[in-house]
Amino acid sequence: MNVTVIGGGASGMMAALTAAENGAEVVILEAGTVPGKKILATGNGRCNLTNLALDPALYQGSCRRHASLLLREFGVQDTLDFFDSIGIPTVAAGSARGNDAWVYPSCKEAAAVRMALEMECERRGVRIRKESRVISLNKQSGRFLIGLENGSSAEADRVILTTGGKAFPKSGSDGSGYALAAAFGHQIVSPLPALGPVLSPNPYTKNLSGLRAEALLSLHVDGEETAQEYGEVQFTDYGLSGIPVFQLSGRIARELAADHGVTLVLDLLPDKTGEDIMMDLAGRRLRRRERESGTLLLGLVPSKMVPVLFQESGIPLHIPCREISQNGLVRLSEILTAFAFPVSGVKDFDACQVTSGGIPATEVSLNLESIKCRGLYFAGEILDLDGPCGGYNLQWAWTSGYAAGRAAGKFEE
Ligand SMILES: Cc1cc2nc3c(=O)[nH]c(=O)nc-3n(C[C@H](O)[C@H](O)[C@H](O)COP(=O)(O)OP(=O)(O)OC[C@H]3O[C@@H](n4cnc5c(N)ncnc54)[C@H](O)[C@@H]3O)c2cc1C
Whether 155 and 215 share a structural domain? no
Total structural domains within the chain: 2
Q: What is the sign of the dihedral through the CA atoms of 149, 139, 6 and 346?
A: positive
Pick from 294, 322, 346: which residue ends a domain? 346
CATH value at residue 68: 3.50.50.60
Same domain, 7 and 155: yes
Residues 58 and 127 in one domain: yes
The answer to whether residues 328 and 313 touch, using CB atoms and an 8 Å cutoff, is yes
Residues 323 and 369 in one domain: no
318 and 335 housed in the same domain? yes
Cα of 295 vs centre of ligand 1, distance in Å, is: 48
Give the end of a domain, one of 346, 372, 392. 346
Are 250 and 231 contained in the same domain?
A: yes
Is the CB of residue 205 less than 8 Å from the CB of residue 239? yes
Cα(106)–Cα(108) distance, integer angstroms = 5
- Give how far Cα 113 sits from Cα of 84, 110, 166, 264, 397, Å: 11, 5, 22, 36, 14
User: Which range marks the domain in which residue 127 is found?
Assistant: 2-194+350-409
On whether both 149 and 238 belong to a single domain, the answer is no
User: What pLDDT shows up at residue 99?
Assistant: 62
Among 289, 111, 154, 268, CA closest to 204: 268
Verify that 166 and 74 share a domain, yes or no: yes
For residues 129 and 244, state if they share a domain. no
CA distances from 200 to 194, 219, 236, 248, 343 (A): 16, 13, 10, 14, 5
Euclidean distance between the first and the last CA atom of the chain, given in angstroms as a whole number: 12
Q: Which of 14, 42, 133 to mutate for ligand 1's pocket (most ligand atoms within 8 Å of CB)?
A: 42
Atom of ligand 1 nearest to the CA of 133: 42
Q: Is 48 in the pocket of ligand 1 (CB under 6 A)?
A: yes
Q: What is the pLDDT of residue 93?
A: 85
27, 2 in Cβ contact below 8 A?
yes
238, 240, 243, 247: CA torsion to nearest 10:
-100
The alpha carbons of the chain give a radius of gyration, in whole angstroms, of 25
Last residue of a domain, one of 346, 365, 395: 346
Mean per-residue pLDDT pooled into runs of 10, the chain (413 residues): 97 98 97 98 97 96 97 98 98 70 96 98 98 98 97 97 97 96 97 96 94 96 96 96 95 93 97 95 96 94 94 93 96 97 96 96 98 98 96 98 97 67
Binding site membership of 391 for ligand 1 (Cβ less than 6 Å): yes
Residues 262 and 359 occupy one common structural domain: no
Q: Can you give the pLDDT at residue 95?
A: 56
Cα distances (angstroms) measured from residue 397 to each of 65, 162, 227, 360: 15, 9, 26, 16
Same domain membership, residue 319 and residue 206: yes
